[in-house]
Amino acid sequence: MATPQTKDKAMTPPTSIDEFVASLDLPQEKAEEVTTVLNLEGLPSLLNGTKVERDVPRLADISCEIAQIVLGPNTLREKREVKDLVEESWSQTCWEIPACVVRPQTAKQVSQILRIVSFFKSRFAVRSGGHSPNPGAASISNGVLIDLHQMNKISIDSGHNVASVGPGARWGHVYAFLDQYGVTVIGGRIPQVGVGGLILGGGLSYFSGEYGLAADNVSSMEVVLADGTIVTADHEHRSDLFWALKGGGPNFGIVTRYNLRTIPVKNIWYESMVFSIDKATALLDAFATWQSSSDTKASVALVISLNAIIVGLVYLRSTERPSVFQPFYEIPPLFPAVPPTNGTVLALSQITGASSVSTSPRHDYRAASSKVDVDLYKQVYQHWINKATAVHESTGANLTFVLQHIPPNLVRKGNSNGGNPLGLAPISQQWWTTIADWDNPEDDAVVRDVAISTSQKWEEIGKAHGSYLPFKYMNDASRDEDPLGSYPVANRNRLRAVAAKYDPFRVFQTLQNGGFLLSKS
Ligand X SMILES: Cc1cc2nc3c(=O)[nH]c(=O)nc-3n(C[C@H](O)[C@H](O)[C@H](O)COP(=O)(O)OP(=O)(O)OC[C@H]3O[C@@H](n4cnc5c(N)ncnc54)[C@H](O)[C@@H]3O)c2cc1C
Give the residues lining the site for ligand X (CB under 6 A): 90, 125-132, 137-138, 148, 167, 188-190, 193-194, 196-198, 200-204, 250, 254-255, 356, 475, 515
DSSP 8-class letter at 312: E
In the bound state with ligand X, the residue whose beta carbon lies nearer, of 127 and 383, is 127
The least CB distance from residue 290 to ligand X, in Å, is 19
The least CB distance from residue 461 to ligand X, in Å, is 25
The least CB distance from residue 130 to ligand X, in Å, is 5
In the bound state with ligand X, the residue whose beta carbon lies nearer, of 17 and 230, is 230
In the bound state with ligand X, the residue whose beta carbon lies nearer, of 125 and 288, is 125
In the bound state with ligand X, the residue whose beta carbon lies nearer, of 69 and 200, is 200
Spatial distance between the Cα atoms of 507 and 520, rounded to a whole number of angstroms: 14
The least CB distance from residue 515 to ligand X, in Å, is 3
Longest Cα–Cα distance of the chain, Å, equals: 76
In the bound state with ligand X, the residue whose beta carbon lies nearer, of 21 and 94, is 94
Cα 511 to chain centroid distance, Å, stands at: 20
Cα 220 to chain centroid distance, Å, stands at: 18
DSSP 8-class letter at 54: S
Residue among 469, 466, 509, 464 at smallest CA distance from 488: 469
DSSP string, 258-284: EEEE-BS--EEEEEEEEE-GGGHHHHH
Contact predicate 48/38, CB 8 Å:
no
Spatial distance between the Cα atoms of 47 and 49, rounded to a whole number of angstroms: 6
* Strand stretches in 372-466, DSSP E: 398-399, 401-406, 429-438
In the bound state with ligand X, the residue whose beta carbon lies nearer, of 262 and 513, is 513
Query: Measured between alpha carbons, how far apart are the two ends of the chain, in Å?
Result: 30
The least CB distance from residue 188 to ligand X, in Å, is 4
The least CB distance from residue 41 to ligand X, in Å, is 28
The least CB distance from residue 362 to ligand X, in Å, is 12
In the bound state with ligand X, the residue whose beta carbon lies nearer, of 86 and 200, is 200
The CA-CA-CA angle for residues 170, 173, 175, to 5°, reads 110
Contact predicate 265/183, CB 8 Å:
yes
